């Protein structure tokens, strides 16, 4: 939990999970348990703070005097800027803290965690409210512009509105799908991003969806023109959305032919309804999971191309010898 002034060699030793900025200050939260403060003008590290586990996110106060960090050590921590001295530990959660955010007037800090709980603290680290209602991990938070309410999103698919002054739930909207991010606009409209690639707009009790991203299972594929060789596999987790298997090589072959590619690879998204959408296409991919089979197919293809290219010449030579 100690802090120290940084030197030229101070760097993260693992992935950076969060980043925040205020004026010329940049803060980075890392999976090396560190939060580092940088001077954007000199591009040098200035100071650091440490958690006891992964640092998932960080945020500046509106005046830039404070930095709050959220960690998998079950705490959020409040640091002074620029010295990164630990001012307060915001504890009490029973699982990883995913997010910590300042109220608009910087007088309070809200946290959410995988323990399905939302907490509100003052800047001295005292817990003012502990709010329950979500049935899944709480992933994100946002304050209303006037600081009177909080909005939270969760794995349970619900968006919940809380009275931040009384510490009680005001309303819940069930989107029926995991929702990782939430924000609230100046007019009170709530914006939430879900696992189907949609943005939900929630206002006056009504929900409107905008398809912002193509969501579904991602498939990687490799193919060779004029050959029966075609290999595909799921990239990462698959929801098992059903699609017509023969449609995949046809789509890839048509796209490759249109792009003038004979040896190709790419990515396709399978929607929940089974629709295939090509999102990437490239030539001479790695063929990493199927190199031996691909090598044979490519060799056969290139041999045929060479024979086809030389065949007119061989015919002419044969005709001349016959004369």
CATH (domain of 19): 2.130.10.10
From CA 15, how far away is CA 24, in angstroms rounded?
23
318 domain residue, yes or no: no
Res. 141: pLDDT tops 90: yes
What domain count does the chain have?
A: 2
Of residues 226 and 95, more confidence is placed in 95
| DSSP 3-state percent helix, strand, coil across the chain (nearest 5) | 15, 45, 40
Determine the structural domain holding residue 48 and report its residue range: 4-211
From CA 181, how far away is CA 199, in angstroms rounded?
10
Of residues 196 and 87, more confidence is placed in 87
248 domain residue, yes or no: yes
Query: What is the chain's mean pLDDT, rounded?
Result: 91
**Closest alpha carbon to 79 in 118, 125, 112:** 125
pLDDT of residue 308: 81
**Residue 306 is inside which H or E element, if any?**
helix 291-322
pLDDT digits 0-9 by tens, 12-59: 999 999 999 999 999 999 999 999 999 999 999 999 999 999 999 999
What is the secondary structure of 230-292 as a DSSP string?
Answer: EEEEE-S--------TTHHHHHHHHHHHHHT-SEEEEEEEE-TT--EEEEEEEES---GGGHH
Q: Is the dihedral of CA 238, 243, 245, 247 positive or negative?
A: negative
- Whether 31 and 180 share a structural domain: yes
* Tokens coding 182: 């939430």
- Whether 79 and 170 share a structural domain: yes
Res. 1: pLDDT tops 50: no
316 domain residue, yes or no: no
pLDDT of residue 312: 59
- Whether 123 and 230 share a structural domain: no
Does the reported pTM lie above 0.75?
A: no
DSSP conformation class of 10: -
- Whether 199 and 245 share a structural domain: no
323 domain residue, yes or no: no
320 domain residue, yes or no: no
Res. 246: pLDDT tops 60: yes
Which residues are paired to 24 by β-bridges? none
pLDDT of residue 2: 45
Boundary residue ending a domain (177, 211, 245): 211
User: What per-residue string of b and e applies to 302-317 under the rule 16 or more CB within 10 Å gives b?
Assistant: eeeeeeeeeeeeeeee
- Whether 185 and 227 share a structural domain: no
């Amino acid at each position: 939990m100690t802090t120290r002034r940084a030197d030229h060699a101070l760097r993260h030793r693992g992935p950076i999970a969060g980043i925040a900025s205020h004026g010329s200050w940049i803060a980075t939260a890392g999976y090396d348990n560190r939060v580092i403060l940088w001077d954007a003008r000199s591009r040098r590290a200035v100071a650091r703070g440490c958690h006891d586990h992964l640092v998932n996110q960080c945020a500046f106060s509106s005046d830039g005097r404070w930095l709050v960090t959220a960690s998998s050590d079950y705490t959020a921590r409040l640091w002074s800027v620029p010295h990164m001295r630990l001012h307060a530990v915001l504890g009490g959660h029973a699982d990883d803290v995913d997010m910590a955010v300042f109220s608009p007037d910087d007088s309070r800090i809200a946290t959410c965690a995988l323990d399905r709980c939302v907490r509100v603290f003052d800047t001295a680290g005292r817990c003012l409210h502990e709010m329950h209602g979500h049935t899944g991990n709480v992933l994100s938070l946002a304050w209303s512009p006037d600081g009177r309410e909080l909005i939270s999103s969760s794995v349970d698919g619900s968006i919940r509105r809380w009275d931040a002054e009384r510490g009680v739930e005001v309303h819940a909207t069930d989107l029926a799908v995991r929702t990782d991010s939430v924000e609230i606009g100046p007019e009170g409209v709530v914006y939430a991003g879900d696992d189907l690639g949609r943005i939900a707009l929630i206002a006056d009790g009504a929900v409107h969806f905008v398809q912002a991203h193509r969501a579904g299972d991602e498939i990687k594929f490799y193919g060779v023109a004029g050959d029966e060789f075609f290999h595909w596999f799921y990239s990462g987790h698959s929801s098992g959305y059903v699609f017509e298997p023969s449609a995949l090589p046809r789509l890839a072959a048509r796209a490759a032919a249109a792009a003038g590619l004979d040896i190709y690879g790419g990515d396709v998204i399978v929607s929940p309804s089974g629709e295939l959408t090509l999102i990437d296409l490239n030539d001479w991919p790695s063929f990493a999971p199927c190199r031996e089979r691909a090598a044979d197919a490519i060799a056969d293809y290139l041999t045929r191309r060479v024979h086809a290219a030389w065949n007119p010449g061989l015919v002419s030579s044969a005709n001349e010898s016959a004369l």
